[in-house]
Structure formats: structure tokens, C-alpha cells
């Protein structure tokens, strides 16, 4: 197990290095110049050259890459071209907002999806199964921006139960934090709840047809015990894979929701930096996101061994 984990960590570092390198060169291949964005089209050549030198954009790409990678190994992501602040500071300001939305969305998704999938599979072709299927398809069909606007109009404007925009840090109080994030989390988590519910139902149906489930029933075990203790544990393996991928996608898929609810999170910061050719911020944000994806995949593989002891890694 230790050798496996060591290999996965090394592979993960290699993947992150490849992503960072690819993003570095692809950004510089995109038409547009951050110096022009800052100074405007009417800037003099002398001013453009001076600013380019100050920003470290005057050398060849491989020289810029060597400088950037050397700083990265020291934990320095550089400074934002437009804001002039450290990229680490900007990411530490934006990431907690996106993480808050993603974590709360995932909790809401799992609280709705897992029970719905279990009930739908256990009561196949009955009203609860048909109802859960219809609701799941509705959740998949509704665009995030449309659902967010509807929730704002109904729960914030009409009923006044929740704020329509903004973010409050967790340090200012749990309930205030939760109050501001409920609508964004519901908006983001709806589609993922539908996906997880459908996956749980399909895997549960497959496991419930296995021979050992029939054996457990023939022994006189309660149906609740058969479903929750024997079937659910084996059915969770593909579901956990989907959950891990869903959480990673939640972190980068909140751009629209952050715009609708006016939350300056990681996705909104990344999009704005791409538009403004703010290379250091884009590179730092994508490096963070790729690290999350790689870390989630490693965590999923580790969880497999605890859910199913028959799985062994060499």
C-alpha cells in the first residue's frame, strides 16, 4: 500500500507539472498582450518596453518559463499583472468562497441523492421510483443560471427568506455564512444530486440482483438490513467515483453561480484573469484546481480499500 501511494503521489506531481507547463505555453500562444491591456492601444513603444521589462515579459518564452518554474519550486506563484498583489493572496481570498459553495452543494446533493437512489432501487417500478426519476431529470434539465435567478426571485425577492447576493465569511458566524450560501449551494448542487441519485439507483439495482443478496434474503434477514448493510456498501464504489469527480467539477463549475449571486470566487477570478491576460493568476488558479482533481482521485482510490476489503493494490 505504501509503494502504491508513493507511486500515485509521484504520478500526481508529474501530472500537475505537465498541466502547469501546458497552461504556461498555451496562455502565451493566445492572441493578446497584458501590457496592451494595462497601458491601452495608444501607449508609446518606450512605455510598453519598460512595463514589459518590469513584468518579466521581455525575454523568450523558455526564459520566462525557467523564471516562473524556479519561483514555483520556492512556493512563489508570482504577482498579478493587473492587481499587483501576490497570486497566493488573491487565491486565498477567492478559494474559500468557492470551497464553501462546493462543500455545501455536495452535502445537499448527498443528503438528497443517496436516500433517493436507495429508495428508487428498493421500490423499483413503483410511484417513489417514478417520482425520483422525474425529479432527477428535471434537476439535470434546468440550467444553473436559470435556476439561480428563479430562486432569487422567489426566496429572496418575493419571500425575503435569503439574501440575493454576496458572501459572508464563516468567521462572522456559522448561521450567517449558511444563510448567504443556501441559495448558491442549492443552485449548484441540484444537477449533481440528480446525477448521483441516478448512479446510486443503477448500481443498487445491479447489486440487488446478485446471488449473495438472494442468499441474505433467504436467511430471513430484514429487507432494510439487506439493502443498507449488504447491498449499499458494494454499490457505493462507482458512486464514490462520481462523487469525487462531482466535487472537483463543483469547484470549477461555479462560475455562472458566482456571477448570478455576485460572489467573487475562484471561478470568477479565473475567468476575469483569462480575459485580461493576467498570466500569473491564471497559472496559479489552474495549478490549484489541478491539484484538487489529482488529490480527489487519490482519495477515491484510498477509499476503495475501506469500502471493499477485497480490493488490493500492488
214 and 67 housed in the same domain: no
Q: Which of 230, 200, 251, 207 is nearest to 98 (CA)?
A: 251
Q: Are 213 and 231 spatial neighbours (Cβ–Cβ below 8 Å)?
A: yes
For the residues 236-242, what does the mean pLDDT come to? 77
62 and 106 housed in the same domain: no
Q: Which of 305, 299, 250 is nearest to 12 (CA)?
A: 299
Q: Are 187 and 260 spatial neighbours (Cβ–Cβ below 8 Å)?
A: yes
38 and 94 housed in the same domain: no
User: Is 54 contained in some domain?
Assistant: yes
Give the other-Cβ count within 10 Å of 141's Cβ. Answer: 10
What's the CA gap between 290 and 287, in Å, rounded? 5
pLDDT of residue 161: 85
Contacting residues for 14 by C-beta, under 8 A, at least 6 apart: none
63 and 145 housed in the same domain: no
What pTM, to 2 d.p., does this model score?
0.73
User: Is 296 contained in some domain?
Assistant: yes
User: Is 21 contained in some domain?
Assistant: no
User: Is 58 contained in some domain?
Assistant: yes
pLDDT of residue 50: 64
Contacting residues for 44 by C-beta, under 8 A, at least 6 apart: none
97 and 207 housed in the same domain: yes
Last residue of a domain, one of 76, 108, 128: 76
98 and 203 housed in the same domain: yes
pLDDT digits (tens, 9 = 90+) for 20-50: 788 777 777 766 666 665 666 666 666 666 6
Helices (H), 77-210: 87-122, 127-141, 144-151, 174-208
38 and 132 housed in the same domain: no
* Cα 135 to Cα 60, 191, 235, 250, distances in angstroms: 55, 10, 22, 20
pLDDT of residue 271: 78
Q: Are 96 and 179 spatial neighbours (Cβ–Cβ below 8 Å)?
A: no
Grid coordinates representing 300 are 477515491
Task: Grade residue 303 by pLDDT with cuts at 50, 70 and 90.
Answer: confident
What's the CA gap between 269 and 91, in Å, rounded? 8
User: Is 8 contained in some domain?
Assistant: no
Q: Residue 41: what are its φ and ψ, rounded to 5°?
A: -70, -25
Q: Are 20 and 283 spatial neighbours (Cβ–Cβ below 8 Å)?
A: yes
54 and 122 housed in the same domain: no
69 and 144 housed in the same domain: no
60 and 103 housed in the same domain: no
Last residue of a domain, one of 40, 55, 76: 76
Q: Which long-range contacts (CB under 8 A, 24 or more apart) does 55-58 make?
A: 55/81
Axis crossing angle, helix 279-307 with helix 2-29, rounded to the nearest 10: 150
CATH number reported for the structural domain that contains residue 170 in this entry: 1.10.3720.10
User: Is 12 contained in some domain?
Assistant: no
Task: Grade residue 57 by pLDDT with cuts at 50, 70 and 90.
Answer: low
For the residues 300-312, what does the mean pLDDT come to? 65
DSSP 79: B
Name the domain count of the chain. Answer: 2
User: Is 218 contained in some domain?
Assistant: yes
What range does the domain containing 45 cover?
32-76
Work out the percent of the chain whose per-residue pLDDT is above 90. Answer: 0
Grid coordinates representing 244 are 469525487
236 and 165 housed in the same domain: yes
50 and 129 housed in the same domain: no
User: Is 17 contained in some domain?
Assistant: no
DSSP 170: G
Amino acid at each position: 500500500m505504501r509503494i502504491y501511494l508513493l507511486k500515485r503521489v509521484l504520478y500526481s506531481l508529474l501530472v500537475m507539472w505537465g498541466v502547469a507547463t501546458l497552461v504556461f505555453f498555451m496562455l502565451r500562444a493566445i492572441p493578446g498582450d497584458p501590457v496592451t491591456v494595462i497601458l491601452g492601444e495608444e501607449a508609446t513603444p518606450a512605455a510598453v518596453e519598460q512595463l514589459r521589462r518590469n513584468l518579466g515579459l521581455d525575454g523568450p518564452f523558455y526564459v520566462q518559463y525557467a523564471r516562473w518554474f524556479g519561483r514555483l519550486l520556492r512556493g512563489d506563484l508570482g504577482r498579478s499583472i493587473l492587481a499587483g498583489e501576490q497570486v497566493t493572496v488573491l487565491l486565498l481570498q477567492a478559494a474559500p468562497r468557492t470551497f464553501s459553495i462546493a462543500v455545501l452543494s455536495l452535502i445537499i446533493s448527498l443528503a438528497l441523492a443517496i436516500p433517493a437512489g436507495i429508495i428508487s432501487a428498493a421500490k423499483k417500478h413503483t410511484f417513489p421510483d417514478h417520482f425520483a426519476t422525474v425529479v432527477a431529470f428535471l434537476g439535470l434539465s434546468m440550467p444553473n443560471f436559470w435556476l439561480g435567478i428563479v430562486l432569487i426571485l422567489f426566496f429572496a425577492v418575493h419571500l425575503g427568506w435569503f439574501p440575493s447576493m454576496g458572501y459572508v465569511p464563516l468567521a462572522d458566524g456559522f448561521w450567517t455564512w449558511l444563510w448567504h450560501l443556501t441559495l448558491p449551494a442549492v443552485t449548484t448542487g441540484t444537477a449533481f444530486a440528480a446525477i448521483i441519485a441516478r448512479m446510486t439507483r443503477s448500481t443498487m439495482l445491479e447489486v440487488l440482483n446478485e446471488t449473495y443478496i438472494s442468499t441474505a434474503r433467504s436467511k430471513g434477514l430484514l429487507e432494510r438490513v439487506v439493502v443498507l448493510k449488504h447491498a449499499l456498501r458494494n454499490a457505493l464504489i462507482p458512486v464514490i467515483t462520481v462523487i469525487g469527480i462531482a466535487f472537483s467539477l463543483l469547484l470549477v463549475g461555479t462560475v455562472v453561480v458566482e456571477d448570478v449571486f455576485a460572489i467573487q470566487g475562484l471561478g470568477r477570478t479565473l475567468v476575469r484573469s483569462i480575459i485580461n491576460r493576467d498570466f500569473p493568476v491564471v497559472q496559479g488558479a489552474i495549478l490549484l484546481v489541478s491539484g484538487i482533481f489529482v488529490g480527489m482521485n487519490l482519495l477515491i482510490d484510498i477509499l476503495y480499500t475501506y469500502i471493499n476489503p477485497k480490493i488490493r493494490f500492488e
